[in-house]
């Protein structure tokens, strides 16, 4: 059963949490946190929270998508 509530990038909130990144990419939350801590991933820290701006996330996905 597909539990992803987002059907397109346009429906994403302006800022994504680690849980949302995990849900969108269909990865575990721990893996999402590891990804969000990488230097080439667009994230920002506010207090203890790691967040990702939607527009930068979409750019990152497009840049890192390899289509042959």
Packed helices 18-25 and 29-36: angle between N→C axes, nearest 10 degrees = 110
Please report the pLDDT score of residue 6 as a whole number.
76
What are 4-56's pLDDT values in tens digits?
Answer: 677 788 889 999 999 999 999 999 999 999 999 999 999 999 999 999 999 99
- The CATH number that domain 12-64 falls under is 3.90.105
Query: What residues have CB less than 8 Å from 15, skipping those under 6 apart?
Result: 51, 52, 53, 54
- Whole-structure pTM value: 0.84
β-pairing verdict for 15-16 and 44-46: unpaired
Interatomic CA distance for residues 37 and 31, integer angstroms: 10
């Amino acid at each position: 059963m597909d539990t992803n509530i987002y059907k397109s990038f346009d429906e994403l909130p302006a800022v994504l949490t680690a849980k949302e990144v995990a849900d969108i990419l269909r990865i575990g939350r721990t893996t999402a946190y590891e990804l969000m801590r990488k230097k080439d991933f667009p994230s920002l820290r506010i207090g203890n929270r790691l967040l990702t701006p939607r527009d930068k996330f979409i750019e990152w996905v497009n840049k890192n998508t390899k289509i042959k």
